[in-house]
Structure 1
């Protein structure tokens, strides 16, 4: 095992602690996990945390592959509202941050992830879709120039983030045109959608991340099994209580044993990926 994995220690997430900001451990935990930064306590639009380490790597080497990075998860990213003691829902459901104010929402649909990796339809259909996207991006660029001069500083920053995403889309289209999607490995079929079974959903997501690495479609990925504060139950391992509720175990041995069962299940579901 140690030959295949790098085990890191001494990584206490100090910025996930309150540090004078009061309640909100769940929001801080996810936001600080890969950024090492203290998230600004707000449930409004003025979110701020830091750039996550995966996106630092993507900025450095993402141009070597079709996808700079791949963000996947079993729970959808929340992009608005307040969720935890005055913190935005964005914090507790997004692990990857391209900038201090711009999260990288994770994709939960295996079907859509598969299409990002391998495309869909024939070459003519893909070329038509790319041309349509390019024409839309050209129109957005013109609107951006006209609108930007009339906005205040905060709105200009938000619009700049949006237009940066537009430019990245243009680059993705250019890269896709310059190199064909990787050949699908033998025996691999496109998934139909999101499985009802959480176990199967996790395994399917894990398979897709492995395929992304195997085909060198990307070299950087984050995988979020559940959003912070999730109260998901795990009846398939005889844990019918919610995860979050059990975490407040008060040193109850029975509850602690169930938390241990969940902690064992989580990495096992990744390590038993059929393509690993």
Structure 2
């Protein structure tokens, strides 16, 4: 079972977890004091992708045995209704590291000049707050294999409104004036499957240290922006596939949850005992941070100017963690919404599973449980009457059988985007007026363009969100003129109320994509 590092914002609402406070260093997984191991039923949760930035996302409860290893983490049960098996933490060597201590709690410092190990610079981590008169929401629907492009993109000579809707997009026909298709947008690099986790930032994890906010994904940027406005800053969902899209500003990949876990997370009320336990954890986290801050002040005058800068950057992430605690604690005493819809119990087919997941997404937005959602969908052998695997089909080589399979799979994924539009158009927006669709940006996109491992000309369709739609927009395809797909991400953030001039690998907002009047 692969080990992963859990982000604190996710852990606040997970069923079971080992609390681990982990510095983010490139290619140094053994720098982890206590590396969390976690297994979620039905999901093979992911390699944690590290980056060149100083920061942390989680806290470690541990007991020191000498100077070299930390063991004995405390296990907490937060949601009795949701089960997950946990594996005890590993024993890891801690030599050549410095720690701030508070009782049985450790916090690893970044590698400083005073310690003979390579240090990595970190950006300022202060969340950017915008001011918008409307509450905006964001949903990203994706897959991990791209699309069969000949059935997805309109003809290259058909720019503007009078384009012929391609076969894969046919189910969007009833909403023709409510979405935009983009051609020739991408993130400007090669790498096949490595492009998948780059979709919502344009930043490869290994290059994240070159960017002021690392490789934070669009949904997590919005989660920071909305703060305590919703119970869950974001939801990261997977249906028959791993969701690889969501990253915090310190480079932690946010793990996804499945259909039933999402429903129970949003609507199952926690027991009184679980709430008390969680409140105590919040209080202990806060006291740890207080001690860490005082010890950091004591160290400040004893290190070089370069080290002071690194410490300042590192403790920016302390403040970010404090904000998360402050934002989430009040929700303990607020009752969860009571939906009229019972817990979903779909059949085993992807068609039923994905449709139920789309309904959960609509329900999450309707109840204002969150305003930032990503969802990755997959396929299993036997779905749609097909025999074979998604990955195998994606390497189609223009074989008729494989191409037909891809058209079925991808056509259904787009039909679920259309279904989500239907659901949101039918639901009144109690905050803004109008419908939920009026104030929700729905992006279908893939970080890998096609199963041939191409990352050029990403499949991107944007619906709703307060933009002017109805067109096929074609951008220059010459290398020196190419427009970054991250410009589209920046435009979505700007229209969501964030006062930004740059996001990820963008070089400006996306020209030609206009905001509709409020």
**Is the partner of 2:374 in helix, strand or coil?**
strand
The residue that corresponds to 2:372 in the other structure is 220
Indicate whether 1:171 and 2:327 are aligned. yes
CA distance in 2, matches of 1:258, 1:57: 35
C-alpha distance after superposition, 1:245-274 (max 9, x if no partner): 22222222221111111111223356557x
Question: What is the rounded CA distance, in whole Å, between the counterparts of 2:313 and 2:353 in structure 1?
Answer: 37
Q: Per-residue CA shift, 1:166-207, capped at 9, x if unaligned?
A: 641441122443x4322x122x22358x97544443333222
Alignment of 1:133-172 (within 5 A): 133-142=281-290, 144-145=292-293, 161=317, 164-165=320-321, 167-172=323-328
CA pair 160-239 structure 1, distance change in 2 beyond 3 A = farther
Match of 2:343 in 1: 190
* Corresponding residue for residue 204 of structure 2: 39
TM-score normalised by length of structure 1:
0.67
1:67 aligns with 2:239: no
Pairing 1:110–2:259 present: yes
Deviations 1:191-235 (A, max 9, x none): 58x975444433332222111111112222111114xxxxx5341
Query: In 2, distance between residues paired with 1:26 and 1:34?
Result: 14
2:181 counterpart SS class: coil
Counterparts in 2 of 1:252 and 1:120: CA distance versus 1, 3 Å? same
| Mapping 1:1-276, distance limit 5 Å | 3=175, 6-10=178-182, 12-15=184-187, 17-18=189-190, 24-28=191-195, 30-35=196-201, 37-41=202-206, 50-74=215-239, 93-99=243-249, 101-122=250-271, 124-125=272-273, 127-142=275-290, 144-145=292-293, 161=317, 164-165=320-321, 167-177=323-333, 179-182=334-337, 184-186=338-340, 188-190=341-343, 197-226=349-378, 232-269=379-416, 276=423
Structure 1 residues 204 and 133: alpha-carbon distance in aligned structure 2, compared to 1, 3 A threshold? farther
Q: Are 1:233 and 1:243, in contact at CA under 8 Å, matched by a contact in 2?
A: yes
RMSD, aligned CA:
3.9
SS of the residue 1:10 aligns to:
strand
Alpha-carbon distance in structure 1 between the residues aligned to 2:226 and 2:203: 26
| Structure-2-length-normalised TM-score | 0.39
2:235–2:370: 8 Å Cα contact kept in structure 1?
yes
Task: Name the CA distance, whole Å, in 2 between partners of 1:195 and 1:266.
Answer: 17
Aligned partners of 1:69 and 1:218 also within 8 Å: yes
* 1:5 Cα offset (Å): 7.7
List per-residue Cα deviations over 1:80-133 (Å, max 9, x = no partner): xxxxxxxxxxxxx5212332x4345243233332233124345x3453243233
Which consecutive unaligned segments of at least 5 residues does structure 2 have? 1-171, 424-518
Bigger radius of gyration among the two: 2
Aligned residue pairs: how many?
Answer: 240
Q: Is the 8 A contact 1:16 1:32 kept in 2?
A: no
Superposition deviation, residue 76 in structure 1: 7.0
Contact 2:219–2:374 (CA<8 Å) still a contact in 1? yes
Give the Cα–Cα distance (whole angstroms) in 2 for the partners of residues 206 and 253 of structure 1. 30
CA shift in 2, pair 1:209/1:253, >3 Å: same
* Alpha-carbon distance in 2 for matches of 1:240, 1:162: 50
CA distance in 2, matches of 1:125, 1:54: 32
Give the number of the structure whose residues are more often helix, by fraction.
Answer: 1
Alpha-carbon shift at residue 25 of structure 1 (Å): 1.4
**Unmatched tracts of structure 1, length 5 or more:** 19-23, 78-92, 227-231
Alpha-carbon contact 1:62-1:69 (below 8 Å) kept: no
Using CA pairs under 8 Å that are at least 6 residues apart, name the structure with larger relative contact order, 1 or 2. 2
Partners of 1:171 and 1:4 in 2: how far apart? Answer: 39
